[in-house]
Amino acid sequence: MKTQTTEQIPFTNGYSDVNGLKMYYEIYGTGKPLVLIHGGGSTIQTSFEKVIPLFAKNRKVIAVELQAHGRTNDRNQDLSFEQDADDVFQFLKNLEIEKADFFGFSNGGTTALQIAIRHPEIVNKLVLGSALAKRNGVPDWFWGFMEQASLENMPEQLKAAYRKVASDPERLQVMHDRDAKRMVHFKDIPDEKITAIKAPTFIIVGDKDVILPEHALQMHRQISNSQLAIIPGGHGEYIGETTTLDADFNENTLIVPLIEKFLDKKAN
């Protein structure tokens, strides 16, 4: 572990031995732990660079990169959300963190769901940003798009970010293919597993998201102790995800205050 500074924000980073991986992580700030789980094809920075400094003012932010993503190596097996959940769980055990809040975005939201299902004892509160639990949670065109997915069609921002940090930039194709294959073969999370989630949960989706607002509403109805926010904008715009940024970006449009209000609220 070593200490660095990014945009004047000090952080520690390093690698942890996790189920055959050297999992890369970064830790910012102090206080109650908040674990950030990035989206598919992404790095810590492409998903969360804009919100990390805001969260780190009040809590310890722990961000990881999952199998084959960013600076974390590949274990030469297909990706699964269940395995990602087990990897994050083992990583937190390595850090001797017994309980944390979790914020997962996109594929990271589905991983966070699986953490709550498979390892509920480690979850304090759960924030699900644009998370998918059912195949009908996205428009029909999405599945045809994933079956035809190619590296050429991957957003340039995500490709550049991977090449910037990966120890072997040529592994970009591996990451892309593993992510695409996982989505093509995505299976619904059974209703009984979703309804069994007891952790306080905050479900977030954009009104122009690839995840349908109706899907977020369905999850809200299934998770008894949950809140729902439908935010104007597209997929990840509410956290300043890198592919959504433009010249009009304004930090004041980010959803951090709403998330912090949810995380800080004491249980009844």
pLDDT digits (tens, 9 = 90+) for 245-254: 999 999 999 9
Mean pLDDT of the chain: 96
Confidence of residue 5 (pLDDT cuts 50, 70, 90): very low
Over the chain, what HEC string results?
CEEEEECCEEEEEEEEEECCEEEEEEEECCCCEEEEECCCCCCHHHHHCCCHHHHCCCCEEEEECCCCCCCCCCCCCCCCHHHHHHHHHHHHHHCCCCCEEEEEECHHHHHHHHHHHHCHHHEEEEEEECCCCCHHHCCCHHHHHHHCCCHHHCCHHHHHHHHHHCCCHHHHHHHHHHHHHHHHCCCCCCHHHHHCCCCCEEEEEECCCCCCHHHHHHHHHHCCCEEEEEECCCCCHHHCCHHHCCCCCCHHHCCHHHHHHHHHCCCC
Taking only the tens place, the pLDDT of each residue in 99-138 is: 999 999 999 999 999 999 999 999 999 999 999 999 999 9
Taking only the tens place, the pLDDT of each residue in 144-176 is: 999 999 999 999 999 999 999 999 999 999 999
Taking only the tens place, the pLDDT of each residue in 174-218 is: 999 999 999 999 999 999 999 999 999 999 999 999 999 999 999
pTM comes to: 0.96
Domains annotated for the chain, with CATH where assigned, are 2-264 (3.40.50.1820)
